[in-house]
Every structure is written in C-alpha cells, then in structure tokens.
Amino acid sequence: MSKTITVATTASDPTVAAATAQFLSPVVLGLQALVLNGKQAHWHVRGANFVGVHELFDSVVAHAGDFADTAAERVVALGLPIDARATTVAAKVTATAVPDGFTQSDVLIADVIADIDVILADVQAAIDGLDDIDLTSQDVAIEIRRGLEKDRWFLASHIAH
C-alpha cells in the first residue's frame, strides 16, 4: 500500500505570490536597466586598462541578465506575470549614472557601481521583506546580492587607491 503525500507550496498561496512579486519586481527592473547601462558602458569605455574594463562590463551584463532571469522566473513560478518591458524599466529607472557617450574607464566604473548600489538597496529590501513571507524567494534575493557584491568588488578594485 502506498501513501500519497501532499506538500503545500508557496505557489498555491496568492498572498505569498503577491508579496514576493512586490519585492522581486523592482530587483528585476533594476537588473534589466543594468544590462542596458552595462552594455552602454562596454561600448563607450576609453582609457586605462581598456580591454580589461571592456570585458569586465560584459561579465557584469551577463551576470545581471542571469540574476534578472532568476528573480523573474521565481515570480512567474509563483503564478504571477512580471512586466520587464523596456518602457517599464525606463519608467522605474528615472536616472542612471552611465552617460551616453565615450567616457574614461574610471568614470564609467564609478557610474556602473552607482547603478549597482541602487539595485543593492532594492535587493536588501527584498531580503528583509521576504524573511517572514517566503524563504525560497529570500534565497533568490540573497544569491543576487552575493553576485552583485562580487561584481561591485571587481569594478571597485579597478579604481581603488
């Protein structure tokens, strides 16, 4: 005789899904903006250690895209859509530090770090807010923080004195 075990999941709780989306959606939008701004920086970097910084920006962009995908998929797995269209990203991210033209590497690095810091504030809010709501979603936010802090450290090391 076999037993059937029913496991309750957070996906079946619309309150958990809505709360998770509230905390992870701003993270997704910020990360999508970092993808765009990081590519802008990648294309327009000039100056000292050009190749290293150029390639590092590509790495930051790839990581940001992966992190955005992970956070968005968590929201969707809980049964809610996520709106990360370019117009939505633009509306959320009203100001960016990254300029629109050729810029020296030290300035662009500081600008991308500033963009990362804005996202890290949203990530921290997600970590704090999800603590009593959904630990699996909180784990997603913690992993994103770990990765962003590593990318931030790599960038900051280029301009450290």
Q: Specify the number of domains making up the chain.
A: 1
The reported pLDDT for the residue numbered 4 is 54
- Domain contains 3: no
- Taking only the tens place, the pLDDT of each residue in 17-54 is 999 999 999 999 999 999 999 999 999 999 988 999 99
101's tokens? 């033209």
- Domain contains 5: no
CA–CA separation, 40 and 29 (whole Å): 17
Collapsing DSSP states into helix, strand and coil, what is residue 45?
strand
Q: Within the chain, how many helices (H) and strands (E) appear?
A: 5, 2
What is the CATH classification number for the domain harbouring 54?
1.20.1260.10
The reported pLDDT for the residue numbered 98 is 86
- Taking only the tens place, the pLDDT of each residue in 50-75 is 999 999 999 999 999 999 999 999 99
Residue 53 exposed, middle or buried by CB count within 10 Å (0-12, 13-18, 19+):
buried
Query: What domain range is 107 assigned to?
Result: 13-159
Amino acid identity, position 67: F
Specify the range with the lowest mean pLDDT, choosing from 58-62, 69-73, 138-142, 156-160: 156-160
31's tokens? 């990360």
